[in-house]
Amino acid sequence: MREKIDEIILITECEDGSPHIAPFGIRERDGLILIAPFKPSTSLTNMLAGRPVTLNTTDDVRVFAGALTGRRSWPVSKQDDAIVLSSALSYQRLKLVQVEDDEVRPNLYFEVLKQSNLKPFR
């Protein structure tokens, strides 16, 4: 059986504290969130360094389109130690708990520390 892939916006915190915003397809496996970023990537570096990771769901297609056109700066706010898109419908603050290394795409497993629904889907 094929695993469902949810398309989300992932925000990781860079070393200087700024947000790095990128789209990702995520899966759920054994109660954990599975993210498989390509090597090398800023998101991967930030996640492996143990910096804050926030999974955002949004119905603002401009954020996804921005990834294709080079726009990566979007309004965000801090909520419960998480960096959250201003357009987020919900978010999950994550903690890295397991890494399965791979030459191209390591599997990173996260537990959800906090989940919050902010507004309904439009």
**Statement: residue 81 has pLDDT above 90:** no
More confident residue, 115 or 70: 115
Reading the block at residue 10, the tokens are 């992932």
Would you call 6 helix, strand, or coil by DSSP?
strand
Q: Look at residue 12 in the predicted model and tell me its pLDDT.
A: 98
80 pLDDT band (50/70/90 cuts)? confident
Q: Look at residue 67 in the predicted model and tell me its pLDDT.
A: 85
Decide which of 2.30.110.10, 2.40.50.100, 3.30.70.20, 3.50.50.60 is the CATH code for 6-115.
2.30.110.10
Reading the block at residue 86, the tokens are 């201003």
Compute the average pLDDT of residues 31-49: 98
CA dihedral 81, 82, 86, 92 (to 10 degrees): -130
Q: What is the pLDDT of residues 57-75, one digit of tens each?
A: 999 999 999 988 989 899 9
pTM for the whole structure: 0.93
Residue 33 to residues 17, 42, 56, Cα–Cα distance (Å): 24, 19, 13
Cβ 20 vs Cβ 11: under 8 Å? yes
Q: Look at residue 34 in the predicted model and tell me its pLDDT.
A: 99
Distance CA 115, CA 94 (A): 9
Residue 40: is the preceding peptide bond cis (ω within 30°)? yes
Mean pLDDT of the chain: 96
Q: What is the pLDDT of residues 9-19, one digit of tens each?
A: 999 999 999 99
Compute the average pLDDT of residues 99-104: 98
Distance CA 97, CA 86 (A): 27
Structural domain boundaries in the chain: 6-115
